[in-house]
Amino acid sequence: MSEDIAVTGIGLVTPGGIGTEATWRAVCAGRATARTDPLLADAGAPVRLSCRVPPQERVRGRLWRFDPATRFLLTAAREALASARLDPAEWTPGRVAVVVGTAAGGIGTLETQHRKLLTSGPGALSPMTLPAFLPNMAAGQLALELGSTGPSLQTSTACASGATAIITACLLLRAGACDIAVAGGTDAMVTPLCASAFAKTGALSRRERDPGGASRPFDLDRDGFVLGEGCGVLILERADHAAARSVRPTALLAGYGATGDAHHPTAPHPEGAGLRAATGEALARAGRTPGEVDHINAHGTSTALNDAVEATAIRKLYGCGDGPSVTSAKGVLGHTMGAAGAIEAALTVLSIARATVPPTANFTTPDDATAGIDIVRTAARPQRVRLALSHSLGFGGHNTVLALTGV
């Protein structure tokens, strides 16, 4: 049995657009998607900026009953399966796993139904309340949609959830528990409760007079992230399984690392110790060294603390000068929470496959922490990427690093 894990399909639903190509074009153009959000404004939220997914063109059949997080997932999964040339009618259902990361499940549904309970009583509740908001139900609904009867589960490590799902799927494949894994992350946390709660922590940008410039990863003038929503899905298979189907992988998942900071509920370790340890694990599993890393898709939230800590970790690992190129998609897409790790893993795969590194939108003024780091700015950069890392960090001290290579 092959130990190599192949990425054979990608599906994306993001504020940059519905579909992989729409998202890639937006990120490569550095086109920020943050806007003033009427729903947050009407609810009196203290911060009214968001990065929303464009209205979906097709909400057919029973999809209207689902929370947006599940709708995003079903749409992204369909695209990923098509790009992997997989037809659920032709596979062995018990050999297909579904692993989905989320930070908050169907939180929008829960908020809406709670308001109904308070204003109109229990009789006003939708019978779909529980199936729509329970954190495991996105994976459950996708498995139902696909008819897959292999392992089906949801992971939750805050903003690292999507990356954790990819690692979990890799473990299931290597353990022989499945032949195909539909893995990713989804979240729809642009809600009054979430926006107000994040505002209380001081994590959100308040640059409301300049929405497009609000999310500015690593920039000296950053003041917080912009709340986003979306979904990313990867199709993973053991390389021998993909070869047997005569499908050429887009990239290989060569290694992974996962650590905990055990430091603070919301702040990362000040020296980035957990991130550096996760990077070491990922490179060791891939049989590579820091000097071989060509590119990093950073977590890069645009918060003062996260960006400084991540930059510190990068400087300690690679030094200054000839280190890897670094980018963050959050200047364009905002912070999509539990979806971010999967969306950014997909963008990292595309950087490898298309020899292109997107720019970090709104990064114009470096600070001391980023001095000497090669943060790509202004325009997409042609670059041969042989080994790339995707960083994800989450409240609770979660650190995940995915190591991806070309084929």
Active site residues: 159, 299, 335
CA-nearest of 171, 161, 181, 206 to 40 is 206
DSSP helix/strand/coil, 282? helix
Please give the span between the terminal C-alpha atoms of the chain, in angstroms, as a whole number: 18
Identify the H or E element spanning 244.
helix 239-244
Q: Which of 311, 85, 51 is nearest to 195 (CA)?
A: 51
Secondary structure of residue 50 in the 3-state scheme = strand
Angle at the Cα of 141 (from 187 to 235), degrees rounded to 5? Answer: 70
Interacting residues of 70 by C-beta distance below 8 A, sequence separation 6+: 106, 132, 137, 138, 141, 142, 186
Residue 256's beta-bridge partner residues? 402
Q: Radius of gyration over alpha carbons of the chain, in Å?
A: 20
State how far Cα 351 lies from the chain centre.
15
